[in-house]
Amino acid sequence: MVAILLIEDDPLVRRGLQLALSRHGHEVRTADTGEGGLREFHSATPDLVVLDLMLPGIDGFEVCRRIRAASEVPVIMLTARGDDFDVVGGLAAGADDYVIKPAQPTVLDARIRAVLRRSTSTPDGVRTHRDLHIDTTALTVSLHGKPVQLTPTELRLLLTLSRAPGRVFSRQQLLEEVWEHDYLGDSRLVDNCVQRLRAKIEANPATPEYVQTVRGFGYRFGPV
């Protein structure tokens, strides 16, 4: 059973999604404001947060930033279609994925399960690349011997890329492998996650050593 925190201000939408997600086997707690959501987050420590961006009081972007500051818990945001400002802002605030409203519970459930699967991996030992150690069994990463806190999505991205150093992955390939999206995945998810990952493991994110951009194609893991 997965503990989900749903932060949504409209009472009927909130209750409807709670009913549907419970039906998919999740334990759903709810909050109707950003402040209430953050309180609930700290007291209940959910496995995953489903966050509406349009909230009264402190908005979804700020809630996401504060959650990210405190924890690596996955965040899925609910956005309006075509509202690029929402998507870009939400991803910059640290969200792992997004679902367009009106959200179909089956789609939302699939995204929830995909995000949570990122915390599990087929273990094949410890990979060491220069100063970076990736333990595929314990699912931990350390740089210069110090542990690095990665979200499940960042970790899954790093595991996927480092599985085959030097191989170029297209954004679509990464979307399908890491995010489990269909062919219409949003490549901004990849670019945003790469940025956050670089900020955590690269000495100089502007000239990355481990996660390298292959212009016009995608990304690869270095050093090769």
User: Which H or E run includes 8?
Assistant: none
User: Which H or E run includes 27?
Assistant: strand 26-31
- Beta carbon nearer to another protein, 22 or 120: 22
Q: Is 29 in the site for another protein (CB under 8 A)?
A: no
Q: Is 101 in the site for another protein (CB under 8 A)?
A: yes
- Beta carbon nearer to another protein, 93 or 99: 99
* 132 close to 182: Cβ distance less than 8 angstroms: no
Number of H helices, E strands in the chain: 8, 12
* 14/105 Cα distance (integer angstroms): 12
82, 125, 206, 207: which one contacts another protein (CB under 8 A)? Answer: 82
- Beta carbon nearer to another protein, 8 or 96: 8
- Beta carbon nearer to another protein, 29 or 133: 29
Q: Is 113 in the site for another protein (CB under 8 A)?
A: no
* 27 close to 1: Cβ distance less than 8 angstroms: yes
Amino acid, single-letter form, for residue 114: A
Q: Is 124 in the site for another protein (CB under 8 A)?
A: no
* 109/170 Cα distance (integer angstroms): 26
- Beta carbon nearer to another protein, 14 or 156: 14
Q: Is 16 in the site for another protein (CB under 8 A)?
A: yes
Q: Is 10 in the site for another protein (CB under 8 A)?
A: yes
Beta-strand relationship, 97-101 and 48-52 = unpaired
The residues binding another protein (CB under 8 A) are 10, 12-13, 15-17, 19-20, 23, 80-82, 84, 101-106, 171, 182-184, 186-188, 216
